[in-house]
Structure 1
């Protein structure tokens, strides 16, 4: 492996279930160049796609290192992907193998940790000490900063907040349990809640209900959020239920970690104006000892969907 060339630039890659998104990032957290590719389904094809995407950026930029942000279990030494539900890697030394192909140092990190680090360095959590980041997308990813440092647990997989059970014997979850928080508070949960509401009252007459009746497959979390912005009654009810579960879950998180700040990140955070105020109110009502203790501030992301790329690029630079 070659030594770093001292450009101060690193590449951060967000390896998602549908796409690979990569960005060249400077030491100030600014994105200078980007590339994107679909995520293949097999491990060899995924590694080849990463190689091509990274080399495309390396041809245009003199970079020192690469960081990969992955939604899955990452070993404590940040070399091994133990398991990733939407990726084909199982017990693969991704960092070492990709580093050997590229001739650059490669750092691996959980995507929620990467996003939390970016918010701490450049965004909503700047200067924060004890901070919880809750990344809400298809499911819930989470990260914990203790005294400004990422807490990964004994084996690198903490904290799996999305799989806290909030409803005993509730909705089935892909993790194998039932009633997990992310089944009631995620992009997927928005769809499930809308379907449940329509099943309970098939006569509900709204634009969204009519669309679902014509094409059930058209229902997505993004579509529900858009309908709620337009005042659709069904969509507004769904977003209110989402906000309720977000507030309940955040109160549980605060009871355990007592953070000074909670950052809401992930794709659903782009619709924070539809639910965050209601979630804050539910959080206050649900928090143990509310009224007799300081409340964590709850803020949306400042870096948006670039957070994981920026964070893992900065972690790669920091580790060097």
Structure 2
């Protein structure tokens, strides 16, 4: 029996929930049915971090109210609202302890929104929401033990074990990006050195590419041409585009990110023994150019290699919708009769 079969066995056809995914640049919201299909969506720009919590709250409420109106027009019932936030969410699933891109510090978000939205509200970390969506409806559907890794500016992550999200004692499990993989390595924004995300993330990819470009290395000529000779204009998607078009340096850079991705996953396999690793986030758009080197490094570093089953390593299937789909589905289950 799959995870999809164990929860919401008799959901009405028109039963929907609203999921809100709050990122550094946009607030994406969707009306999501019981099968994980986004039937309506809207988006807003994320308020600047200098804005007060009330401004962010108003942005969320505006998006939710728009979707509630659209649901009403279509005769759909909305049972709950789920919020996926980039940051630390407390074990109470109600408080955003810290959000790096917003002004939230110990923000009682569920309480603040509850009186205005008029639906049960669930708050969770955005990577948790994405992992839940991929395990319920996406690349790991039916898999009982899943590690989700999101490669963006940094590295986020989440754990699903026995079809249940594992949030940790204080609600902040899954911060895989800050595991140390290189003693005394590159300084990380968290204050430590050698963190995984300094070697296997979008920031790492851009840093290495700009280093070659700034040195005027002949191997970076194609990348330099793509940004008019200005390394500061380089972004991760451009490196991925160049790699797909056959640029050998871009391919080498992505393969290096893939290598470090595999190194970190081997450590996670030793700790959690998952059946699947699901790789999401913007850097995952490189597809097999990233995943093939990751699988190779994973096999070489896996403890007991050759004598144990290996986890699948797959690209996420739901793309940028994963966060809002997962947030909506978690909210639906949290507000159900069993809760």
Superposition TM-score, scaled by structure 1 size: 0.94
Q: Cα distance 1:66–1:6, how it changes in 2: closer, same or farther (>3 A)?
A: farther
The match for 2:254 is 239
The match for 1:278 is 293
The match for 1:44 is 54
User: Structure 2 unaligned runs (5+)?
Assistant: 1-11, 73-77
SS at match of 1:35: strand
SS at match of 2:160: strand
SS at match of 1:245: helix
Q: Cα distance 1:205–1:24, how it changes in 2: closer, same or farther (>3 A)?
A: closer
The match for 1:58 is 68
- Farther-moved stretch of structure 1 (135-144 vs 199-208): 199-208
1:68/1:109 contact within 8 Å kept: yes
d(CA) in 2 for partners of 1:104, 1:217 = 45
The match for 2:39 is 32
Report matched runs for 1:100-111 at 5 Å. Answer: 100-111=115-126
The match for 1:221 is 236
| Equivalent residue in structure 1 for 2:30, among 17, 20, 23 | 23
1:209/1:234 contact within 8 Å kept: no
2:205/2:254 contact within 8 Å kept: yes
- Farther-moved stretch of structure 1 (193-202 vs 217-226): 193-202
Q: How big is the shift at 1:185?
A: 1.0
The CA deviation string for residues 81-116 of structure 1, in whole angstroms up to 9 with x for no partner, is 000111211101101111111111110011111111
Corresponding position: 1:266 with 2:281: yes
Corresponding position: 1:178 with 2:193: yes
The CA deviation string for residues 19-43 of structure 1, in whole angstroms up to 9 with x for no partner, is 0000000111110000000000222
| Equivalent residue in structure 1 for 2:202, among 187, 197, 218 | 187
1:116/1:311 contact within 8 Å kept: yes
d(CA) in 1 for partners of 2:278, 2:131 = 8
Q: How big is the shift at 1:16?
A: 0.4
1:270/1:304 contact within 8 Å kept: no
User: Structure 1 unaligned runs (5+)?
Assistant: none
SS at match of 2:219: coil
Corresponding position: 1:9 with 2:16: yes
SS at match of 1:44: helix
| Equivalent residue in structure 1 for 2:104, among 70, 89, 93 | 89
Q: How big is the shift at 1:212?
A: 4.9
The match for 2:3 is none
SS at match of 1:275: helix
Report matched runs for 1:106-255 at 5 Å. Answer: 106-198=121-213, 202-212=217-227, 214-255=229-270
Q: How big is the shift at 1:270?
A: 2.2
Q: How big is the shift at 1:205?
A: 4.8
